[in-house]
């Protein structure tokens, strides 16, 4: 199908921590043709008898509902989506959350996030793919991110940004399970295998599946000097039993390529007799929500 607006061509993958496979992990995501969201339920809540997945899954379910309602106050407003999802979440628990919203008419990507669930934007510059932008962790201290929740941080503290995007830019939105095990440059090197000579990712689902598999394998390697381990060493933080190597965790990633609607494409659509594809909605938290 052809599109008569800017949109994402995307793939998504949620791979749970080995000990959390039975419940589908504690991450969740929502994705459609112009909105991406990833939530990471904070596992420490389990010590209080709380299932962290309930909070993160509900965040993404609510975001999906708000987006599909099409209310003007949510259009191009990812921080509003975060705020309303947090304020309407009835569950106990906490979660980090990142949302990216592609303007359907202008070449603008608006983002908002809280904690260490974040994103990177890649762009082909002078014939070479490079990191255009990498969001930084929002943390109080090492391994202690800001997080949404009744007894945690208010959604007003979420950071928000606006980026002018180009056709073909690649957005990777992910939980810390990815970025604790792979640097943004390593992510790019992996994705480069799936970018053709025209600069397109023809099969983003395969690209994200293989990326998550790579990160998952690294997360289980005790001899791997992961980004997480390196940061711990820099801060002289020593874990019981020594440094972990890779950081085992739920890993949730959305790989989305920006497709900008070009002037003249509307006439091509008319000539082809093509209509606009309706946005597809996917919500996943290990099990469909």
Distance separating the N- and C-terminal Cα atoms of the chain: 27
Residue 88 CB coordination number (10 Å): 12
Residue 289 lies in a domain: no
Give the per-residue pLDDT at 264. 64
**Taking residues 99-120, what's their average pLDDT?**
98
pLDDT tens by residue, 151-180:
899 999 999 999 999 999 999 999 999 999
The per-residue DSSP string of 76-111 comes to T-HHHHHHHHHHT--S---EEEEEEEE-SSSSEEEE
How many Cβ atoms from other residues are within 10 Å of residue 74's Cβ? 18
pLDDT number for residue 267:
46
* CA 180 distance to own-chain centroid: 14
Give how far Cα 89 sits from Cα of 54, 65, 222, 289, Å. 10, 13, 37, 14
How many domains would you assign to the chain?
1
Is residue 2 one of the residues assigned to a domain? no
**pLDDT greater than 60 at residue 94:** yes
Other C-beta atoms lying within 10 Å of the C-beta of residue 273: 7
1 in a structural domain: no
Cα separation values, 77 from 72, 116, 128, 133, 139, Å: 9, 20, 32, 20, 23
Considering the domain boundaries, does residue 12 fall inside one? yes
Distance CA 200, CA 219 (A): 29
The residue that leads in pLDDT, 3 or 256, is 256
Residue 173 DSSP SS3: strand
DSSP codes of every residue in 19-39: GGGGGT-SEEEEE-SSEEEEE
Cα–Cα dist 211/252, whole Å:
10
Whether 125 is in a domain gets the answer yes
Q: How many Cβ atoms sit within 10 Å of the Cβ of residue 239? A: 10
The pLDDT, as a whole number, for residue 241 is 81
Tell me if 85 is assigned to some domain.
yes
- Cβ count within 10 A of residue 256: 27
Q: Which CATH number goes with the domain that contains 192?
A: 3.60.40.10
> What does the pLDDT read at residue 1?
60
Q: How far apart are CA 155 and CA 168, in angstroms?
A: 31
- Residue 226: domain span: 7-284
> What is the value of pTM for the model shown?
0.93
Give 157's Cβ-side CA count (13 Å radius): 14
pLDDT digits (tens, 9 = 90+) for 184-205: 999 999 999 999 999 999 999 9
To the nearest whole number, what is the mean pLDDT of the chain? 91
Residue 240 belongs to a domain: yes
Angle 166-170-175 from CA coordinates, rounded to 5°: 135
Any domain includes 241: yes
């Amino acid at each position: 199908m052809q599109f008569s607006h800017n949109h994402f061509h995307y793939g998504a993958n949620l791979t749970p921590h080995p000990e959390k496979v039975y419940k589908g992990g504690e991450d969740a995501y929502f994705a459609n043709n112009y909105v991406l969201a990833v939530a990471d339920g904070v596992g420490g809540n389990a010590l209080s008898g709380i299932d962290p997945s309930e909070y993160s899954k509900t965040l993404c379910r609510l975001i999906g509902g708000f987006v599909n309602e099409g209310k003007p106050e949510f259009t191009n407003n990812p921080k509003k989506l975060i705020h309303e999802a947090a304020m309407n979440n009835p569950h106990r628990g906490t979660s980090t959350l990142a949302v990216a919203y592609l303007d359907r008419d202008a070449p603008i990507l608006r983002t908002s996030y809280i904690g260490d669930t974040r994103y990177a934007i890649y762009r082909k510059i002078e014939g070479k793919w490079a990191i255009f932008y990498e969001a930084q962790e929002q943390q109080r201290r090492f391994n202690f991110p800001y997080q949404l929740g009744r007894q945690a941080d208010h959604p007003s503290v979420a950071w928000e940004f606006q980026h002018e995007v180009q056709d073909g830019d690649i957005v990777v939105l992910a939980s810390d399970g990815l970025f604790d095990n792979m640097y943004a440059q390593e992510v790019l090197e992996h994705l480069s295998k799936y970018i053709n000579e025209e600069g397109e990712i023809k099969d983003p689902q395969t690209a994200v599946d293989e990326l998550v598999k790579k990160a998952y394998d690294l997360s289980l390697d005790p001899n791997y000097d992961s980004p997480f381990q390196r940061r711990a060493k820099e801060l002289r933080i020593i874990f019981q039993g020594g440094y972990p190597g890779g950081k085992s965790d739920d890993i949730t990633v959305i790989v989305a390529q920006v497709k900008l609607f070009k002037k003249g494409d509307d006439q091509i659509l008319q000539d082809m007799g093509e209509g606009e594809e309706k946005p597809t909605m996917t919500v996943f938290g290990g099990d469909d929500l």
